[in-house]
Amino acid sequence: MASLLFSSLSIKNTTLKNRIVISPMCQYSAIDGFANDWHLVHLGTRAIGGAALIIQEATAVSPEARISPSDLGIWKDEHIQKLKQINEFIISQNAVPGIQLAHAGRKASVSAPWKGNKKLDFAQGGWQTVAPSAVLYHDNEPFLPEALDKNGIQKVISDFKAATKRVVEAGYKVIEVHGAHGYLLHQFLSPLTNVRTDEYGGSFENRIRFTLEVLEAVQSEWPSELPLFLRLSATDWAEGGWNPEESVKLCKILKEKGVDLIDVTSGGLVSHQQIPVKPGYQVSFAEKIKKEANILTSAVGLITESKQAEDILENSQADLIMFARESLRNPNLPLSFAKELNDEIQWPKQYERAKIK
């Protein structure tokens, strides 16, 4: 019997040939936001490897939205050309190109992981970060984030809108807004990082306002026949933080507003989080949101084996499975998984002589 992992899924006008998605992964390899051959080969290799959807790393909507100075960006028209080339290659491999649009908020202005992931002060090429409230992530950081005023909020929203216009021009077929891992949208959602007293803070309705306004701006440019995802941390793994019940409540609203799928992850907001990491540790959140908000979900996080992924789909816990680190270890993961699940899938013709019999 054919596996569920290799069954197709249509979301609006886009058909994914299987349920395997490459999770967005920062490469810290851009200069001034520009993509280059590293990104082409990194993303292109995974398209060759058989994944249905390749979601490009957190891509900044403005220079100050970057996590590190070497993040990808889409804040100017000049960024489009190389991104378009990458997307055309992904499409030529019968895969779908997606992008994650992001703003890092108070977690911006840090060095790449291999340079220590340290807050960069202004002398080191860092920049003033922004956030819903002037609350530090780590006690030892050199400066406070600036609390966004109303104009600042409007600027970020219009940055998302302008970036989305470029996303369309660059030929992406799926857009994912980054609302997770303690970045700006998540900072507004959680009472641990949002202590505002205006209409963007306090009650649940006020804390979700910024996320809804960003999504509305994205939707004003994004073709309604193409899929729109939101990545959401279902819990902060910290007392008094954003939690699974609020996630379900938000996702019910998002479904009504036309979001197609919730990419369910967790944590990343506060340094004192306590995450019980184990295989598939976030799957139960994808299941809860799928069942209680009645919306498509993807599961991610320590999913490394074909049988594990197949079981998640069989148990109706999620609709798509995202792979990050395992796809770095094995870019041809889908080709290997198909063999393990006895599924016949098309290999790139150039690789057919290597097909394992």
Ligand X SMILES: Cc1cc2nc3c(=O)[nH]c(=O)nc-3n(C[C@H](O)[C@H](O)[C@H](O)COP(=O)(O)O)c2cc1C
Where does this chain bind ligand X (CB under 6 A)?
A: 23-26, 57-58, 100, 178, 180-181, 231, 265, 300-303, 323-326
* Three-state secondary structure of 235-292: CCCCCCCCCHHHHHHHHHHHHHCCCCEEEEECCCCCCCCCCCCCCCCCHHHHHHHHHH
Provide, rounded to whole angstroms, the least separation between the CB of residue 25 and ligand X: 4
Selecting among 28, 137, 183, 200, the annotated active-site residue is 183
Burial of 210 (0-12, 13-18, 19+ CB in 10 A): buried
Give the residue nearest to ligand X (CB). Answer: 324
Nearer to ligand X, 164 or 266 (CB): 266
Measure the CA–CA gap between 357 and 354, rounded to whole angstroms.
Answer: 9
Cβ-Cβ contacts under 8 Å for 1 (sequence gap 6 or more)? none
Q: Residue 29: left (phi > 0), alpha (psi -120 to 50), or beta? A: alpha
Measured at the CA of 232, the angle between CA 87 and CA 335, to 5 degrees, comes to: 45
**DSSP secondary structure string, 35-70?**
--HHHHHHHHHHHHTT-SEEEEEEEESSGGG-SSTT
Tokens of 67: 């996590």
Q: Single out the residue of 110, 132, 74, 95 nearest to residue 21, CA to CA.
A: 95
Tokens of 173: 């077929």
Nearer to ligand X, 216 or 326 (CB): 326
Nearer to ligand X, 100 or 306 (CB): 100
Q: Clarify whether 172 is annotated catalytic.
A: no
Nearer to ligand X, 163 or 201 (CB): 163
Tokens of 234: 């279902």
CA atoms within 13 A on the CB side of 80: 14
- For tokens 């190389």, the residue is 82
Provide, rounded to whole angstroms, the least separation between the CB of residue 191 and ligand X: 22
What is the distance, to the nearest Å, from the Cα of residue 215 to the centroid of all Cα atoms in its chain? 14
Nearer to ligand X, 195 or 328 (CB): 328
Provide, rounded to whole angstroms, the least separation between the CB of residue 320 and ligand X: 13
Provide, rounded to whole angstroms, the least separation between the CB of residue 28 and ligand X: 8
Provide, rounded to whole angstroms, the least separation between the CB of residue 203 and ligand X: 27
Nearer to ligand X, 71 or 196 (CB): 71
Measure the CA–CA gap between 15 and 99, rounded to whole angstroms.
Answer: 16
Helices 283-293, 244-256: axis angle to 10 degrees equals: 50
Provide, rounded to whole angstroms, the least separation between the CB of residue 318 and ligand X: 13
Nearer to ligand X, 82 or 178 (CB): 178
Burial of 308 (0-12, 13-18, 19+ CB in 10 A): middle
In terms of residues, how long is the chain?
357
Q: Write out the H or E segment, with its range, that includes residue 328.
A: helix 325-329
Provide, rounded to whole angstroms, the least separation between the CB of residue 281 and ligand X: 9
Residues with catalytic function: 183
